[in-house]
Copies of this chain bind each other. A is one copy, B any other.
């Protein structure tokens, strides 16, 4: 059983076949899938699972902090099961490939107090953009 599923059980969630499958797809080989990509993969294991359930389940997992929502473009949100180790994202501006990256230092430290305008700043998201090696080669 996946770690994610185990944590859901500990939170008292009813373990339905649907939630099991969504957790397994997320914890599987792929990362940063869209909701519809999760749905497509879930259907291979549980053909009758509905789109609404996938959206519901992903939304609940995000709500309790077990999954992170990533919106690197203006398109569909992506769902990231890597919610334990803090990280940021490196995105190819051409093909959209996403990689996890671990910048040095505390990104919060870069925002001085006088630039916080009284906000209680709790989190930072950093998106690095550029061409991946494949796309750089194609553009040359």
Given A74-B69, A74-B71, A127-B125, residue A116 in contact with residue B90 (CB < 8 A): yes
Note all chain B residues with C-beta closer than 8 A to A64. Answer: none
Given A74-B77, A90-B117, A111-B101, residue A122 in contact with residue B129 (CB < 8 A): yes
Partner among B92, B101, B117, B120 whose Cβ is within 8 Å of the Cβ of A99 = B117
Q: Does A124 contact B (CB under 8 A)?
A: yes
Complex CA gap A16/B121 in Å reads 43
Complex CA gap A34/B108 in Å reads 27
Complex CA gap A130/B69 in Å reads 16
Given A107-B110, A111-B101, residue A125 in contact with residue B123 (CB < 8 A): no
